[in-house]
Structures are given as structure tokens and as C-alpha cells.
Amino acid sequence: MSALVDYPTFSDSPFFFDRRNLHIAQPESALMQQHSAPSVSYYFPKHVGNYHYGERHPMRPHRLELTNNLVLGYGLHEKMAMYNPRRATEDELCEFHDEDYIDFLKRVTPANAQKLTKDYTLYNIGDDCPVFHDLFSFCQQYAGGTLAAARKLSQGGTDIAINWSGGLHHAKKGEASGFCYVNDIVLGILELLRYHPRVLYIDIDIHHGDGVQEAFYLSNRVLTVSFHKYAADFFPGTGNLSEIGANLGKHFALNVPLHDGIDDESYISLFKAVMEPTITTFRPDAIVLQCGADSLGCDRLGTFNLSIAAHGECVRFIKTFGLPLIALGGGGYRQSSVARCWAYETGVLTGTDLPVALPQNNYLEFFGPDYSLHPPLSGHIQNMNSRQYLERIRMSIREKLRYLNGAPSVQMQEIPPDLQGLLESEERKKEERDEEAHNGMAGEDRSDGPQKRNEFYDTEVGGDGSGAGATAAGLGPRGKKTIRF
Ligand SMILES: [Zn+2]
């Protein structure tokens, strides 16, 4: 046998940078020690925390402001590159969404809402997904963050990218759903698929990640795994064990349906028991992790019992595989818990131990009476998941994973179009074009100033041009808008 033996599950397409020696998933026990800590990029669209769904609505974008404040208060901006991403353009949003739906989101305002009642039904606008002031800008901002994160990751400009304002996993191709209007996760994964043969999506929000599952239900290049509460009367009502994908995508959707009150120990052991074999079997080239915080105890809508430490342990576990990773937000309806959770997980992702006492910040009054990073959130709801039930789920998932072993190799015949190719005009910033050529930044303003550019950036500027240039130059048809996956 020659030393150049090929690995059958990777594409030989000349369009793709060959990462197979760089990012093969390993079981935790076999992990190599990394030479240095992974580089982390943090995306916070300025003002994304200033939007309001309405007085009585449980979704409060203000939680993003609280989160960012804790992140800065803990000094985590010293540990990562901070970015204020540009807004996603209409064309970018239309890479997944229907044009008429995006056009509606762009046009609708609280003032003209009366005249558009027919569209309300068509696009599922209503109590859950209300029209509010500057709704479209809000969508462009959080989607822009996830797209910038995906671009950065694809270009090898970072190991881990974080966008807590993203993760809106319920939005559908042509309609809003469950407080979500635009599905930034699907858009981000589509961007990743331009460079990565296989992407793993993991969802630990208490609700089923139905929008993402549906988008990639027929694809064997994206494996979706969702851990959620599953009950007839619980939104969105999907996510049973029997939903496994279809056609080419059969066996490439996994669902872990749970009952009320799952506790730290059961959740963590099940999460690891499912994710370890999933990653080693599917061998993704990149991972997108939706960190919805409504799976924490004491959530206003959720009914699990998780502590922030347990939620964060799932994030830590996924990080140990050393694969390119995007961490996104999602649900979370107790603002003080959401902010603590995502600040803690920013610490986990940057490898920083955070003091339990919260730092001074502008919103300290939200965090009383304990002012602690780890308030007691567990034990308020009875755990309805018996040991036998959880074991049955675990066995069932193991059984399903056996089909992945026999899955045909993933061929890269369908090349997703170049999202950036749609922006050849003035909408694209110069930095973004530079980034593609591996000599610049990723189309967003760095908010930490040039003096804090990390060493990775500096070496990137000098880039040797080998391989990287070929990646950009070899890309498929630019500007093509038909997506098939
Ligand atoms: Zn949720």
C-alpha cells in the first residue's frame, strides 16, 4: 500500500482545502495536547441588545447586553478577538430564506401592520413572532454575526467563534416560528459547507432544533443532534427518536427526547454518551453548537433542572475534540441566568477560570441577591427521566449510529454557492475581500482596536500564500443562487 492511501469519506474535490490531517475527530482519551490554546473570536453586533419584542414577550434581546457586560466585566475581551460584525445583506438571507418572506420582513413595521394581515398568516407572524420596531435590522444583525463567525472559521482565521446573539433555530425557509425570524444557524452552516465536507450541528436548547433539522433533513453532509424536552403540548412538538432524516440524509438526524426535570448528572452522562460516538463516527470537519439557555433550571419557559456548570460542561466537552467550533446562543428566558451562563461558557471556550463572585458591571441589580456566577438553579422540578428511560435512549442512539459507519463516502458534487460572491459590489468591504485572500480581516470592525490583534492575525497578514490562495481561487461558481443539499 502506498503512503498516500486515501480516506474514503473525504472528498478529493480540488475545490476544497484538504483538512483531513488537521481535523480528524478523536475520542477524548486519544486527544493530542494542543501546542497552544485555541484562538477565539467573539462577535457582538453593536446595539443587538436594544430591540424589544414587546412588553409581555418572554424573549428579551436585552439579555445579550447583560451577557456582553459580564463578558467584559470578567476581562474576557483580553482573551479573544472582539468583532462588531456587519449586517447580513438581503441576498445573504435569501441563501436559505424565500425572497418574498425576506421582502416582507424588510417592509413590515408596527405602523403598516394593519394593512398586511394576510401576510401575517402566510408568514406566521403573531403573538410568538410579533412585528416590532426595526425587526429587520435585528435579524440582519444576529445573522450577520453568525455569518461572520462562519467565514472566519472557514478561512482558518480562528479555532472557535462565538455569537451569543445567534442560534435562532426555529425559523423556517418561508416563515417565522418560535420567536425566530431568520435562521442564522442554517445560513452559517451553508457557509461552512463551502469549505467543510461535513458539519455537525448540536442543539442543547430545551426546544427541539426543528428549523435546522428540517433544512438539512435530506443531507448527509450535515448531521443534526438535538437534546430537548419532547411532549405533545410542548413547542414545537417535533423531535421524536423516530425522526432520523430522509433520502440521502437518512440517519443524519438524531433526536434525544427528554422529559421534565432532567438533572445535571443524567444530562451530562447522556450528552457525553451520545456525542462521543457521534463525533468519532461522523467525523465532522466543523461543529456548530447551539447553547440555548432555556434548558437551565428556573427558566420562565423551560422545565429542566440544569445548573450553569452542567450546561457549560457540555460546551467544554465539545471543545475537547479540538475541531473548528461555532458557539451560538438561542433560547433563555430568565435574563440573569442567560447572561451568567453565556459569560461562563465564554470563559470555558477561552480556557479561563472565572471567579464565582460577579464582577462590577452596569447591570448588577439583575444579579442579586447572590451576585454569584453559579446561583442555585437545580432541584425545583421533579426528574421524570428514569434511569431505564435514559438507558433506552442511549441504546437507541448507539444503534442508529451503526448506520453511519456504513454510510457511503460524502461526495462534494454539490458545491454550495459562494455567499460572498453575491456581494461583489460596494456592499462588500475591502477587508472582507482581503480576508478571502488570507491577508485581512473578516468583513467586520474589530472593536478592540488594532493594538490588540492577536498573533494569529499577525502571521495571517504575512501569509505564505501556499494552499490558502488556492482555496479561494478554486472556489466554485460565484453568484450562483440555487442551493441543493
Ligand atoms: Zn428554546
- 10-residue mean pLDDT series, the chain (485 residues): 34 31 40 71 97 97 98 98 98 98 96 86 95 97 98 97 98 98 98 97 98 97 98 97 96 98 98 97 97 98 98 98 98 98 98 97 95 93 97 96 68 47 44 50 48 26 27 25 31
Question: Known binder of ligand: residue 294?
Answer: yes
Answer whether the bond into residue 408 is a cis peptide, omega within 30°.
no
pLDDT of residue 425: 38
pLDDT of residue 306: 98
Catalytic residue IDs: 170
CA of 305 to the centre of ligand 1 (A): 14
pLDDT of residue 446: 57
* DSSP class of 353: P
pLDDT of residue 136: 98
**What is the spatial distance between Cα 84 and Cα 443, in angstroms, rounded to a whole number?**
9
Domain boundary assignment for the chain? 33-404, 441-485
Please give the CATH topology (third level) of the domain spanning 33-404: Arginase; Chain A (3.40.800)
CA of 8 to the centre of ligand 1 (A): 37
C-alpha pair distances (Å), 368 with each of 299, 337, 357, 363: 16, 11, 11, 10
Question: Known binder of ligand: residue 443?
Answer: no
CA of 50 to the centre of ligand 1 (A): 21
Question: Known binder of ligand: residue 77?
Answer: no
Question: Known binder of ligand: residue 434?
Answer: no
pLDDT of residue 250: 95
Query: Residue with C-alpha cell 462588531?
Result: 84
pLDDT of residue 114: 79
pLDDT of residue 484: 32
CA of 432 to the centre of ligand 1 (A): 33
Query: Residue with C-alpha cell 434525544?
Result: 256
pLDDT of residue 423: 41
- For the question of whether the overall pTM of this predicted structure is more than 0.85, the answer is no
Strand 444-446 relative to strand 325-328, pairing: unpaired
